[in-house]
Amino acid sequence: MKFSLQTVKSKVRDAVSWLKRLKLKEKIVLAAVAATVVTCVALVIVLPNANGRDSDEDVFAIRYATETPNGAELPTGTPYVTTSPAPTPKVTVNPMLIQGTNSAYVSSLQDRLMELGYLDIDEPTQYFGSATATAIQLFQRQHDLTMDGMAGQKTLTLLFSDKAEKYVMEEGTTGIDVKNLQEQLKMLGYYVIEVDGFYGSYTKKAVRDFQSRNGLAVDGLAGELTIEKLYSPSAVPAAWVVQQETSRANIQRMVSCAYAQLGKPYILGACGPNAFDCSGLVYYCLREAGSNRGRYNAAGYASVTEWEMLNNIDNLHIGDLLFFYNNSYSRIGHVGIYVGNGMMIDASANHGCVVLRTCRSYYWRQHFAWGRRPW
């Protein structure tokens, strides 16, 4: 059908005249209908092109070609446009906690290491110090992982799984903890050769002899029960050893000695003079103050019945020993030396050194078990 220009103009004039005769309400309705029609047309055009991809992420490859796929020539400079789907980004999760890290995750890490026996019981912190790194190395040694002291994805996954094993020393392992074990066995008369820090056949035999004489399962492994007994006042020495009568410490010399150790590094199992763990510090200070009390762990010193028991953390004297439960309240796991004014000196695993700090914080009050007066 063909229309002349004059006919089109006439139709337009009629339409305009008709629109002018419409009432305001009718014009509004007509405008709404027109808007709806325009919107529908726009959706029909846009939706097929948006189907299956995000237009903001389309990757367009534009090439200029002189031929189309079927061989027909295109004018020079005409762009031939193709689209390539945007690649799906790969998200790599690689958690890593290393020495020097300050993070809330470090507190959970320390709690788990303490639970498994790799870290001495202490108030958790958010700082990943040298003691935490050493505990990670011991865990990695136990599970045949690379001993780098870093809590990477593989270490963390195993540490927080049901397959994580409790701390134990066994034949073939090497470390400062093995050296400390040998020193304690030597003190009790079970180990009489040179201390070398290697858990060989002789160390295994010494452990087996100790276990046999102390009513433990004889397996040659230095696990939780063996270590608890080894560092307790009830540990039975080798038959040939004659124990000396214990003497009491001079309390002033003991406290002065404790102050002199402030800042020295924390090392699990160490008992001075250059590094300490919590019970090692107590042992060293007692010895320096004139006591020949043996080397026990925190639970061992807590069970010395010859020392007066103190049940109120607010009623301590200078020189008293304070004992604290672990987080599950299942055993004594930490000891400090009271120095007055609500303060104690202790070897802190999470601070990585011997520190002077309050013993009346919420954490320590909640975990306080009892005190002992070793003089």
Each residue's pLDDT expressed in tens, for the chain with a length of 375 residues = 555 666 656 666 666 566 666 555 565 556 655 656 556 555 555 555 444 434 333 332 333 333 344 444 444 444 444 445 555 544 344 468 999 999 889 999 999 999 999 988 788 889 999 999 999 999 999 999 999 999 999 999 999 999 999 999 999 999 999 999 999 999 999 999 999 999 999 999 999 999 999 999 999 999 999 999 999 999 999 988 765 556 666 888 999 999 999 999 999 889 999 999 999 999 999 999 988 888 999 999 999 999 999 999 999 999 999 999 998 899 999 999 999 999 999 999 989 999 999 999 999 999 999 999 987
pLDDT of residue 33: 57
Based on the fold, state whether residues 287 and 227 are members of the same structural domain: no
Based on the fold, state whether residues 366 and 314 are members of the same structural domain: yes
Based on the fold, state whether residues 362 and 269 are members of the same structural domain: yes
Based on the fold, state whether residues 174 and 76 are members of the same structural domain: no
272 found inside a domain: yes
pLDDT in tens, 1-26: 555 666 656 666 666 566 666 555 56
Based on the fold, state whether residues 274 and 178 are members of the same structural domain: no
Domain membership of residue 344 as a residue range = 251-373
13 found inside a domain: yes
150 found inside a domain: no
Report the side by side order of strands in the sheet with 332-340.
Answer: 308-310, 368-373, 321-325, 332-340, 343-348, 353-358
CB 374 within 8 A of CB 293: yes
Q: How many residues does the chain have?
A: 375
317 found inside a domain: yes
Point out which residues pair with 355 in neighbouring strands: 346
Write down which residue in 84, 118, 138 finishes a domain.
84
Write down which residue in 34, 56, 84 finishes a domain.
84
Omega cis (within 30) before 124 = no
Based on the fold, state whether residues 211 and 279 are members of the same structural domain: no
338 found inside a domain: yes
59 found inside a domain: yes
149 found inside a domain: no
* Structural domains of the chain, count: 3
Based on the fold, state whether residues 262 and 365 are members of the same structural domain: yes
The full 3-state SS of the chain, as one line of letters, equals CCCCHHHHHHHHHHHHHHHHHCCHHHHHHHHHHHHHHHHHHHHHHHHHHHCCCCHHHCEEEEEECCECCCCCECCCCCEEEEEECCCCCCCCCCCCECCCCECHHHHHHHHHHHHHCCCCCCCCCCECCHHHHHHHHHHHHHCCCCCCCCECHHHHHHHCCCCCCCCCECCCCECHHHHHHHHHHHHCCCCCCCCCCECCHHHHHHHHHHHHHCCCCCCCCECHHHHHHHCCCCCCCCCCCCCCCCCCCCHHHHHHHHHHCCCCEECCCCECCCCECHHHHHHHHHHHCCCCCCCCCHHHHHCCCCCEEECCCCCCCCCCEEEEECCCCCCEEEEEEEEECCEEEEEECCCCEEEEEECCCHHHHHHEEEEEECC
pLDDT of residue 50: 45
CA distances from 256 to 287, 289, 290, 337, 340 (A): 13, 9, 13, 11, 13
Based on the fold, state whether residues 288 and 332 are members of the same structural domain: yes
CA 353 to chain centre: 19
pLDDT of residue 89: 47
pLDDT of residue 175: 92
| Integer Cα distance of 279 and 265 in angstroms | 14
109 found inside a domain: no
In the numeric block, the tokens 């307790």 are attached to: 232
Domain holding 319: CATH number? 3.90.1720.10
Based on the fold, state whether residues 356 and 261 are members of the same structural domain: yes
pLDDT of residue 362: 94
Based on the fold, state whether residues 192 and 285 are members of the same structural domain: no
pLDDT of residue 28: 56
CA distances from 89 to 26, 64, 82, 124 (A): 54, 29, 21, 38
Domain holding 183: CATH number? 1.10.101.10
In the numeric block, the tokens 């002789």 are attached to: 202
Based on the fold, state whether residues 210 and 269 are members of the same structural domain: no
The full 3-state SS of 334-358, as one line of letters, equals EEEEEEECCEEEEEECCCCEEEEEE
Based on the fold, state whether residues 300 and 238 are members of the same structural domain: no
Write down which residue in 189, 213, 243 finishes a domain.
243
pLDDT in tens, 347-366: 999 899 999 999 999 999 99
